[in-house]
Amino acid sequence: MNEDTLSSQEEEVEELASADDAGVDDYLGPDILSDVTQLYFNDIGQNELLSVEEEVRHARRVRQIQIEALASLRKILRRSGISRETLL
């Protein structure tokens, strides 16, 4: 290949890349992104927020479920004879 052919190919690649970039900007323009964001905010705004007490209650319940799941997993591992190191 000579330099003219290589230069021509490089220019062609650059043109294709810039055309692709323009397509992305058209597809995901700032108006579309702000519309999607606004739709999301409108949607979550339809739901009431949790009270402090509800949030604490849910957090405690999730933590309790995690503790129970971990205890069950430990029991299963002990029964199966699989060592902790094998899993890590």
Is residue 29 scored above 70 in pLDDT?
Answer: no
What the block records as the tokens of 27 is 């597809």
67, pLDDT greater than 90: yes
d(CA 51, CA 43): 19
pLDDT-derived band of residue 78, with 50, 70 and 90 as boundaries? confident
Separation of alpha carbons 73 and 66, rounded Å: 10
What's the pTM? 0.46
The pair of structure tokens assigned to 38 is 């606004």
Residue 35 has pLDDT above 60, yes or no: yes
The percentage of the chain sitting over the pLDDT mark of 90, rounded to a whole number, equals 31
50, 56 in Cβ contact below 8 A? Answer: no
The mean pLDDT of 58-84, rounded to a whole number, is 91
Q: Determine contact, residues 53/61, Cβ cutoff 8 Å.
A: no
- The residues spanned by each domain of the chain are 1-47, 50-88
Mean of per-residue pLDDT scores for the chain: 79
Q: Is the pLDDT of residue 13 over 90?
A: no
